[in-house]
Amino acid sequence: MSKQFDVVVIGSGPAGYVAAIRCAQLGFNTACVEKWQSASNKPIYGGTCLNVGCIPSKALLDSSHKFYEMQRHFADHGIRAEQGSIDVAAMMERKNKVVGQLTLGVAGLFKSNKVTGISGTGTLLGRGRVRVTGPEGSQEELSASSVILASGSEPSAIPPTPVDNRLIVDSTGALEFDAVPERLGVIGAGVIGLELGSVWSRLGSQVTILEALDDFLPALDRQMAREALKILTRQGLEIKLGAKVTGSSTGEGKKKSVTVNYEDGDESGEAVFDKLIVAVGRRPVSGDLADSAAGLAIDKRGFVEVDEYCATNLPDVYAVGDLVRGPMLAHKGMEEGVMVAERLAGKKTQVNYDLVPSVIYTHPEIAWAGRNEDEMKQAGIECRTGSFSFAASGRALAANDTDGSVKLVVEKATDRIAGCQIIGASAADLLQQIVIAMEFSASAEDIALTMFSHPALSEVVHESALAVHGHAIHKANRKR
């Protein structure tokens, strides 16, 4: 006899665990099936984000940034310290403690909200039916009024550089190095490649990033992308654009290495590394998510097909997070999880997909939301822009953290904010001010007339809004 629930969620990453908790808060008897296992065969919640993604990578980014600051910038503050060294094992132990604390935190939230956690791999059998295969191979069936699919994503692979988890690793393996590689190669100059490349570059690796595209960070407008490239290059990252990887080979001599072959325009190139990270994106985990007889619609790229409210082609079956269309971002999946839960409760909640913030947690951070200037022009919409540099911020100067700038884009006819891009310290947090403003259809004038604390990094946002109409105080304004 199958166990009966109101809602069964498959997957406990950010989209899944948030969906499960919100369903329980709304009074639904909810179960969450998770395949990640501890040594004692208990579910480890949090999915890729908490275990091998967002959280561990940020822990390493913060540790490596502190080491970089000690070596490069402490003296600017009058702090004299010995050259110092990095204890990779201790850094990894701290990272693991952070991960453990947060995954246990999700388990605690399940308990307090009365979500039933079930250990095993969930497979959709059809409307309202889920089979769970336990770690020992045992099977049980769950019945539910509604099913939410949230199985997440996994690193993509490319044939020229097969991952062996020794010399060639994916993003998961790059979080587990036991020493700083002297020469590190990274394939892909996207979010993951730049973040992981930054970690090991700060710790002393000679990092080369091979990017197949000719454009750097195409989601940014060209002006901001050039600024980001200049800053990261100055920090020591060698970023080769238009470099298409064609093959690789590993050497098994006294000093193991991997040789990467690539094409750069009409020329061929070769690079030798001690480690190679393949960071070419992610793909949805949907291969064994549903029984073939269930009839779940999945496109050729592996994404579950859904409508604007994350409903699949099957009645009472929903899919959220990395499993569906749109950017693979934890916060996007979280909002989808909340939306589905609340719509099950009869609410008319929806996600504003035009305002999904994106962040690259290098230092300085790179963050953006809405449309950039190039996109506005391509759409034939007249716009104004306002920019302000962190170098003109008293707070940034006092912190010796002046790289980057803010660029605000507004519709010329309405003065309504259309988008924002920020490169700089705490860019993710500063961008959120503009995302909130955009959610309420704010204008540049609204931001300009708002009082900001002084001295604070957020003043760069204020000044960029003033600059839209040539009223910036702490820089020379362009004639309009």
Q: Say if CB 145 and CB 9 are below 8 A apart.
A: no
CA distance 109 to 45: 10
Work out the angle between the directed axes of helices 14-25 and 330-344 (0-180°, nearest 10). Answer: 30
Choose, from 454, 462, 469, 471, the residue flagged as catalytic: 454
Q: Is 454 a catalytic residue?
A: yes
Q: What phi and psi, each to the nearest 5 degrees, are found at residue 454? A: -135, 135
Q: Say if CB 63 and CB 91 are below 8 A apart.
A: yes
DSSP code at position 305:
P
CA distance 279 to 289: 24
Give 158: exposed, middle or buried? Use CB within 10 Å, 0-12, 13-18, 19+: middle
CA distance 306 to 53: 25
Q: Which two tokens stand for residue 13?
A: 């990453």
**Does residue 269 sit in helix, strand or coil?**
strand
Which are the contacts of 73, defined by CB distance < 8 A and separation ≥ 6? Answer: 400
The DSSP bridge pattern shows strands 183-187 and 358-360 to be unpaired
Residue 397 vs residues 318, 363, 389, 472: alpha-carbon distances, Å: 49, 15, 11, 18
Place of tokens 């701290």: 94
CA distance 19 to 199: 32
CA distance 414 to 406: 21
The radius of gyration of the chain from alpha carbons, rounded to an integer in Å, stands at: 24
DSSP code at position 268:
E
**Does residue 412 sit in helix, strand or coil?**
coil
The DSSP bridge pattern shows strands 3-10 and 129-133 to be unpaired
CA distance 62 to 80: 21
Active-site residue list: 454
